[in-house]
Amino acid sequence: MLIVPAIDLKKGRVVRLVRGDFSQEIVFSEDPLAVARQWVESGAPRLHVVDLDGALTGSPRHLETIAKIAKSVPVPVQTGGGIRSVPAIAKYLEAGVAQVILGTKACLDESFVTRALKAHGAKIAVAVDVKDGRVAIEGWVRKEWMKPEALIRRLIQQGVSTIIYTDTTRDGTMGGPSVDLLKQVLGIIGGQAGFFASGGVSSLEDLKMLKGLESAGLTGVVVGRALYEGRLDLKEAVKACSLKGSSPASTSKTAGLSKESASSP
């Protein structure tokens, strides 16, 4: 199971939001590149970088910063936030990003996902952000009518190879992950796509509990605030959650981030 540090960008700074609320912002650093290097030096097999301003406004705001991160670290970078056109996807991939995460547009426009997959295949991931049982879009400020189960089933049918699921009510709270809910989602996916969980992780004990879902198809866990506040040691977490340590597929900068590449020996 991969442990993936989150780097959330807002106005050029590394921040964490509590429950996705933009009014509850905690600033952790003014230097995103230094943070990225720190996590990689501590053993991160990849990085999860989100342009919060882009997610809120609908167009990328931190492409330059994310490009610098992708070119400066030897591990894959997956990124999302305001990426709502095929040309925008191409810009990020050309900048060195290994995988582009689609969110709002993937929920609202099924044909867009089809076009993105046709053009870029496993380099496309989709974020399923959930708030009060509904899919949350546009920087988590709008709840769509769609239930996450329906969206996940549609994405699987379309051939999406990586799904990143965030329980926004737990994100940034360090209140612990919703294991039972994740079990249900993994049952829907049925091993047909790589699956990353995000939201609520506060300790090594939480990660060990989530590792029990690895056999059900959990590929990795995105962790944020617990790392930044020192409640979780990244080196210890990576060691505890990987039976063999980081595999070549998980640490190769050019590796795809699909379930197959993440779990290969």
The domain locations on the chain are: 2-263
If one looks up domain 2-263 in CATH, what number appears? 3.20.20.70
Chain segment 162-200, per-residue pLDDT in tens = 999 998 877 665 778 989 999 999 999 999 999 999 988
Is 8 labeled as catalytic in the residue annotation? Answer: yes
Output the six-digit token pair for 159. Answer: 């051939």
| CA separation for the pair 113, 103 (Å, rounded) | 10
CB 179 within 8 A of CB 210: yes
CB 227 within 8 A of CB 10: no
| CA separation for the pair 173, 193 (Å, rounded) | 27
Chain segment 15-73, per-residue pLDDT in tens = 988 765 666 788 999 999 999 999 999 999 999 999 999 988 989 999 999 999 999 99
Chain segment 67-97, per-residue pLDDT in tens = 999 999 999 999 999 999 999 999 999 999 9
CB 222 within 8 A of CB 177: no
Range 93-114 average pLDDT: 96
Total-model pTM: 0.89
Which of 53, 129, 167, 171 is flagged as catalytic?
A: 129
